[in-house]
Chains A and B, each alone.
Chain A
């Protein structure tokens, strides 16, 4: 599974990555992480506001910090 965090290093983006890594670890899923900081690359996903969470090239959330249970659901659904 390929997980991307879109956002230019603001506190929320860091927190989103931290939460997602924790969920991945708890579920014991194989996943690669990538941070996308380039504005053009972010906008290619049609995302208006960061942080955004992209799982297997699909935007799951943007502009907010999703809760842990939500992230877990998305990751399980993507498996």
Chain B
């Protein structure tokens, strides 16, 4: 194969996975997840969690609080380091601080939903459960190893005033979170009640069938490599996403100063896109002779009804029960996450897709095709030395999976990648010192390898 053809293949698989990804995964999973992350960041008072992390808190409260606190506190990576440092220096001490550092990146809402939809609910659940259990375990071990220094330090530490402010979360905020979460779950949960069509109709169109076969030649589906094709429905959704991008840029960049027409256009388009994505659409082509046999077969799914009701409820609550500034703040945070994460994610998905046609499947199979200690260790080491920005580890993992990686080592990789990159090791080092960091890194390596191995025994 000459170089040009080779490049063309790379470009095609890269673009193909990008298009399939945008049409299939981003919408019902990532769109609501960004709104939830924004709401956690803007509407959830951080003091509601940090009050449990002060130095007076008993162990059985401070460890679970720092493990679960990652869910609400760590939605932005820039908040992790100051919190980690202050829990360590002024708060409950080394143990809970380490627990927070370990669990935080794995437990955020974007990472969980994205892993669940793209790789599988089993891995997503294992990722949460194991990181909480091991996070607390590693924290307790660290506190025990360095118990002498800890005692000396807690006497020298300053006051814990930063932790004494308490705050409670108002009921309307809980209800609002529940609604947003329901939008996410209704769109992504694969159960018959939601995915079945209760009524179908056919939109007559003469071009749909032809357009679909053209799409199949441009982006050929290749199940053996895990490459999905793109449907007519998918192209429509990609078009809507582009429109959302334009409207959001004009309407959300300065939304904390005030809303404008574009803000409503963007929000309207987002709602519309979620609804359109919930239809089940199949292009049918029964041959050119019968004009009635051609068109788009549209199914009204349970998901569709659920999404319409829930999105309407979210709009109603945001307008009726929250102040204008709270809503603006929420939207600003949401859009900030999008701007921070989406560009990296698109590049990551493209490269991970293109990589599928470069990396020979036999390599992955030989290195990590079976669930062995060695394979799990390789998964962990790869996670440590390859630094991928937030969430990009997920498409990378999917590439490995389609190339024949065992789910055990895959989980080991997914656990280690966000927790333990060279960059985070350096920062940890500056806060807790070289010796403790070294022990932490060793513990994380051992525990991630173990959890991959144990998980691998349970799945075939």
Contacts and interface: CB of A to CB of B under 8 A. Distances in A.
B431 interface: yes
Contact of A8 (B73, B82, B159, B431): B82
* Interface size band for A: 20 to 34
Contacts of A43: 82, 85-86, 89-90, 162
Contact of B325 (A10, A15, A46, A67): A67
Contacts of A49: 46, 50, 73, 79, 82-83
A48 B50 contact: yes
B256 A15 contact: yes
Binding site of B, secondary structure by majority: helix, strand, loop or mixed?
Answer: helix
B329 A65 contact: yes
A77 interface: no
Interface residues of B, number: 29
Binding site of A, secondary structure by majority: helix, strand, loop or mixed?
Answer: loop
A5 to B, nearest CB: 13
Contacts of A48: 46-47, 50, 82-83, 86, 162-163
B83 A65 contact: no
Contacts of B129: none
A19 B329 CA distance: 14
B79 A50 contact: yes
B340 interface: yes
A60 interface: no
Contact of A11 (B83, B325, B336): B336
Interface string B274-313: 0000000000000000000000000000000000000000
A9 B73 CA distance: 18
A50 B329 contact: no
Contacts of A46: 90, 159, 161-162
B256 A67 contact: yes
Given A11-B339, A12-B78, 13 more contacts: A7-B82, A11-B340, A12-B76, A39-B431, A43-B89, A43-B162, A46-B90, A47-B82, A48-B163, A49-B46, A50-B79, A50-B82, A64-B329
Interface of A: 7-12, 15, 19, 39, 42-43, 46-50, 63-65, 67-68
14 contacts: A8-B82, A11-B78, A11-B340, A15-B256, A43-B89, A43-B162, A46-B162, A48-B50, A48-B163, A49-B46, A63-B46, A64-B329, A65-B332, A67-B329
